[in-house]
Structure 1
């Protein structure tokens, strides 16, 4: 009985998948080729000091790889990619903040405590299971046989790993009776860490080179008009391609398109390709601002340590005032000083006195109204270049406010009727269909708000660039890819400067239009909005 339980523990740990789609009963049928290696080694060494050292090393390695599998599971769900030790460690505090905002502090701490206990119990279970095997009393001949089998079974596991990774092909007569998946995950994560470090070194070199550095003047085609970049959280191609969302969101865009046209403004729409999905919006903001591809936090940190000039540095050189409206920031943003902003408005700076919408600090309508109050209405101001990161469409997508008449907005308490309504996230998120419907409503509110606000700006004639920052998690978006919609709204003469890109007129992008990577947008804006565009 004890032997069977010990083998079962090792078996289950070794076959544990690292991807949500692999979490099926079929995963139990894949025999772990590491198991006979472990069993043979423990039987050969017995219960002496060598066996104890092997057990400690074995448990440490298997336990760490199990943690990496669990981390992979989480990042595949959120970002559609595996976990990278070098660049993703920062996701832990971000995940904790999201858990507190979605579940509440009490449930978040309870979940954390349960996870710690489970991992500790697993380590003890592995120690007990390996101890059972090491304590088996076998004849000397049986231990010699186990010692002989250990390298043979290890060779079979290595052969399967190499074949699975494409390093070599096995003869047709040789078919390993399973997979050494756990060992392969450990090997791949170690290689991934080394590659990430090398990639960061190359990125640091690329950050030193800037094709726009010596080009002047910049942004002079704007004249006295403002340039406003608005990021709509979690707004991706799924709003146009997924039938769950497309009718709602495209109808809202059509209505906004009519309002904006009536205000005398022109529009173009295309696609941009984000560097990630599911979160980390600052990677999108940084890619657009710097003209460099920021698909990891380490690249972002390397950018902050580089002399790279951002869109806002060029705007300052042209005599423009640069501001960032960041309602998601409940703490200071020291990295913001790198980007060249003259003013950064975090959540506390925007004047919102209403109730938060769980993780979301304030509705998008209030954020845009605060931007008008704090910056657009300033007398005798310089032309602006503004970055506005909206958050109403950020998970958990409950509750969702409604658009109010702009002249009725006060300090934000008028939104409390929605902030305090409906089921909390921990109830809604038990049902994925409800989550998707809340996402549909949240994105629709943001699109309606942005469209209505843009139509109000007709007499002020800014150039407005509206884009999604990334797709939501794949279980919500229901589509593959990294594309997000990109809308240019403004005076006809400025919008016409983006002709030749095959972007569609209006707010409905053509599905066949190729997407531009977000790191191309800085130079595109600088070139198209300068009197003498770069080649």
Structure 2
């Protein structure tokens, strides 16, 4: 009886590992009804081989543990970025995630959590090996005829598993077997996708080596030396217009901002871009916009950095502009800055902020914009990228506007920086998360529109856009689309009439979305003059 109970318990453990979901949408009680075709292959195969299969039990335990890790990685990446884990491009997410986690729960909490995870994985490996070895040892007690029957049945299920995997991978329209070899199929899909990623990366490298704008004259000549500011708003996506949780507040913010712009003599046009990412990895969206390439993962980003591809900022330098990056989220060395074409980088330490941080957010957006006005290099016109990060997770505390003349060194924000709930309190409830996200996002939008309407002798051409949608459980609507606004004096905005974008700050929902990688070339076409090459 004890042996029978032990065999049942070990089979249940292996069954749970095989049906472990890799996607948040599959995390339901229905997942328990999945019949894993690999289960009889493993258990009956071990029975058939007996004690000779101890080595196979070790190998199977290692393979199952590896698939547990792959599924956990898939689950996390699907939750954050609405796609599966790509080992070729996503290994950098581990240190980035640890950095964000330590900013939310502290270094000690992160270390403790990491140790607990390692202990859990070690315990899982040990339990899997013991469970599989039990079936192998039990097989050695069976008569040869029973072991032969077990082996025959295992081979039948192995064939069914292969058929199910073939059906899933190749779209075969023949007989679909009962059950699912989910874990084996997932492993096969990841191997296939790894091969596809390598091929796509090779194509990307070829595209990065060629640039139709390299050596062209007349770049940006239509702007007449006007400053250009590209302001990315963190997690500003189409959901702000379509999700009823956010849309009413956002519409009010836009209406007030549009009125202020009109009073300042400025016009606006708005459209949609499709970001290459969702939920995070903002630098990939920045790279796609600047390079005109589909920089959808870290491997492509690295390939871009090592290629001769000219970014929008490199081309602006060729046209006599100063290229500037304002990056309040950069707190460590950033060697990529010059590679992306930036002559001047104003990172967090360069912006002179003396106030308290807003958890992960180093400084509120209003201070970032005020510091840019004070610290930006003078003389030649500027092509500037500004990263606005107040709408970055964990979305607490939510900053509030202060009079522009009261900003000073940023200490005016100290009371706000210690107000409100902790990240742990906000993230304990999804409704609270969404409420704080919506309020933080509209603070960022309100801030940049207020800044745009400040009186200036010669206003810049301002391009305000989202880098990506928030994570799927926060955004819920809008896919990968982000809004983009062109704001400036009428003579500057008129250069883009051919784009067909909507007047004002609310893009038509039916307006076609461009890939974010299309922006660079279309912007250059609208603002440059045809000249002889090199002139």
Task: Please say whether Structure 1 and Structure 2 have the same fold, judged by a TM-score greater than 0.5.
Answer: yes
Aligned to 2:325: 324
- 2:271 touches 2:502 (CA, 8 Å); kept in 1? yes
- 1:474 touches 1:480 (CA, 8 Å); kept in 2? no
**Cα shift readout 1:277-299 (whole Å, capped 9, x = no counterpart):** 00000011101111111111101
SS state of the match for residue 400, structure 1?
Answer: coil
Aligned to 1:352: 353
Aligned to 2:25: 21
Aligned to 2:119: 117
- 1:463 touches 1:488 (CA, 8 Å); kept in 2? yes
Q: Residues 147-186 of structure 1 correspond to what in structure 2 (within 5 A)?
A: 147-171=151-175, 176-186=177-187
Deviates more, 1:502-511 or 1:323-332: 502-511
Aligned to 1:34: 38
In 2, Cα distance between equivalents of 1:145 and 1:389: 65
In 2, Cα distance between equivalents of 1:271 and 1:53: 56
Unmatched 5+ stretches in structure 2: none
Q: Residues 78-227 of structure 1 correspond to what in structure 2 (within 5 A)?
A: 78-136=80-138, 137-171=141-175, 176-227=177-228
Aligned to 1:488: 486
Unmatched 5+ stretches in structure 1: none
**How many residues align structurally?**
526
- 1:47 touches 1:135 (CA, 8 Å); kept in 2? yes
Shift in alpha-carbon separation, 1:256–1:104, aligned structure 2, 3 A: same
Task: Give how far 1:400 is off.
Answer: 0.8
Task: Give how far 1:403 is off.
Answer: 0.5
- 2:257 touches 2:450 (CA, 8 Å); kept in 1? yes
Aligned to 2:336: 335
TM-score computed with the length of structure 2 as normaliser = 0.96
CA-atom RMSD in angstroms = 1.3
Shift in alpha-carbon separation, 1:457–1:487, aligned structure 2, 3 A: farther
In 2, Cα distance between equivalents of 1:498 and 1:430: 45
Match of 1:65 among 67, 71, 75: 67
SS state of the match for residue 119, structure 1?
Answer: helix
Deviates more, 1:434-443 or 1:414-423: 414-423
Residues 1:369 and 2:366 aligned together:
no
Deviates more, 1:141-150 or 1:116-125: 141-150
In 2, Cα distance between equivalents of 1:518 and 1:533: 27
In 1, Cα distance between equivalents of 2:211 and 2:477: 34
SS state of the match for residue 104, structure 1?
Answer: helix
Task: Give how far 1:533 is off.
Answer: 9.4
Task: Give how far 1:177 is off.
Answer: 3.0
TM-score computed with the length of structure 1 as normaliser = 0.96
**Cα shift readout 1:480-518 (whole Å, capped 9, x = no counterpart):** 411100000111111011112221111111111111111
Residues 1:2 and 2:13 aligned together:
no
Residues 1:259 and 2:260 aligned together:
yes
**Cα shift readout 1:336-394 (whole Å, capped 9, x = no counterpart):** 1111111111111111111111111100000001100101xx55x11000000110000
In 2, Cα distance between equivalents of 1:166 and 1:431: 41
- 1:470 touches 1:482 (CA, 8 Å); kept in 2? yes
SS state of the match for residue 483, structure 2?
Answer: strand
- 1:332 touches 1:346 (CA, 8 Å); kept in 2? no
Aligned to 2:497: 499
Aligned to 1:422: 420
- 2:272 touches 2:484 (CA, 8 Å); kept in 1? yes
Task: Give how far 1:198 is off.
Answer: 1.2
- 1:276 touches 1:295 (CA, 8 Å); kept in 2? yes
Aligned to 1:509: 507
Aligned to 2:312: 311
**Cα shift readout 1:389-441 (whole Å, capped 9, x = no counterpart):** 11000011000111011111111111110111111101110100000000011
Q: Residues 372-521 of structure 1 correspond to what in structure 2 (within 5 A)?
A: 372-375=373-376, 379=378, 381-521=379-519
**Cα shift readout 1:28-58 (whole Å, capped 9, x = no counterpart):** 101110000001211111113xx12211211
In 1, Cα distance between equivalents of 2:251 and 2:120: 46
